[in-house]
Amino acid sequence: MSTPWPSSALAAADQAFTALTTDPDPLLLDLDQFSPAAGLPSGSMPLRTLRNWLLEHPGAHNAQDAVWTELIQRARTGEPQWVITAVGMAMPSLLRSAVELRAGYPDDPDDIDSELLTGFLSALRDTRVPAAELTCARLCWAAWRAGHHLLRQAREQVPVDDLEHALASRPPRIPYGHPDVLVARAVALELVDEGDAEAWIDTRLALRDPVPLAAARRITVDALRMRLNRVDQRLAAALADGLLTGVASAEARAQLKKAAAHRTATRATRPRGRIHAA
C-alpha cells in the first residue's frame, strides 16, 4: 500500500527525497569528480548519506561549496530528481525555520511550509546568481524571508478580538547550536537588518569573500567589516540577555525597533562615497 502524501509541502518534499535516496536504488553523487581540495570522501555516495556527512562536518566549507555548486547546477537543468535533492539536502535547516515561524503563525502551519519551499525554489532557479556563488545558507535565508513575510502579513491582519492572544503567544526556545535560526530571530526582532543578516550569513557561515559583498552594497570592505562586527556584538548581547532564546518583552521590542529606525536613518543621510558603517 502506498504511503499517504503529506499536506505539508516540506513533509512532501522530504518524503520524495527519502524515496529517491534509500534502497534498493538510491540516488548517488560521484565524489571523485571533485578536486581533492574539497576534502570529500572518495567514491559514489547516496545523497542522504552525503547529507549526514556534511552535517557531521560543519567546518568542511570547501566540501559544502563543491557539493552545493554541483547540486544547484543539476537542479537548474530542470530535472525533478535534482530539484527534490536540493530541497532534501537543505531540509534540516528548512525545518528549523519552519518550527520558528509556525509558532507565531495564526493560520494553517502548512502555509508557512509552502512559503519556505517557494522562497527556496525561487532562489534556486534565479540564474542571475551563479551557482558557484549560491550557498545552502543563502538558499535557506531566501526561504526564511518568504516564510517570515507571510507571518508578518498574518500578524498585521489579526482581528481586534484576537489581538491579545496574538501578542501573548510565545515563540519556541531557540537552540544555541543553529546560528541560522538565531540570526533569523534577530531579524524578526529588528535587532539586525535583513541586508546585514544576509552579509553575516555569507561571511560568517558560508565564509564568502567580503570584497564582492561590499561592492554590491556600494560600501568599502572596512565598512562592511565594521557593520558585521557590530552585528556580532548585538547578537552576543542579545544571547546574553536571552532575547534570542526566550520571549522579548514589548518594551524590548520597542527599543529594538527604535534602534533599527536610527540605523536606517543614519545610513540614509550619509552621502554616497562615504564609509557607511552604521
Question: What predicted TM-score, i.e. pTM, was given to this entire model?
Answer: 0.69
Read off the C-alpha cell for 179. Answer: 546560528
- For residue 161, the model assigns a pLDDT of 44
Q: How many CB atoms lie within 10 A of CB 102?
A: 19
Q: Which residue has the higher pLDDT, 246 or 66?
A: 66
What residue has cell string 558560508?
Answer: 206
Q: Which residue has the higher pLDDT, 214 or 267?
A: 214
Q: Tell me which H or E stretch contains 17.
A: helix 9-21
* pLDDT of 259 higher than 90: no
Residue ranges per domain, the chain? 9-87, 93-269
- For residue 32, the model assigns a pLDDT of 97
CA distance 34 to 37: 8
Q: How many CB atoms lie within 10 A of CB 181?
A: 21
* Residue range 51-102, pLDDT digits in tens: 999 999 988 989 999 999 999 999 999 899 999 999 999 999 999 999 988 9
- For residue 72, the model assigns a pLDDT of 97
Hey, is 52 helix, strand or coil?
A: helix
What is the signed CA dihedral for 98, 104, 105, 111, rounded to 10 degrees? 0
* Residue range 6-26, pLDDT digits in tens: 889 999 999 999 999 998 999
Q: Tell me which H or E stretch contains 53.
A: helix 47-56
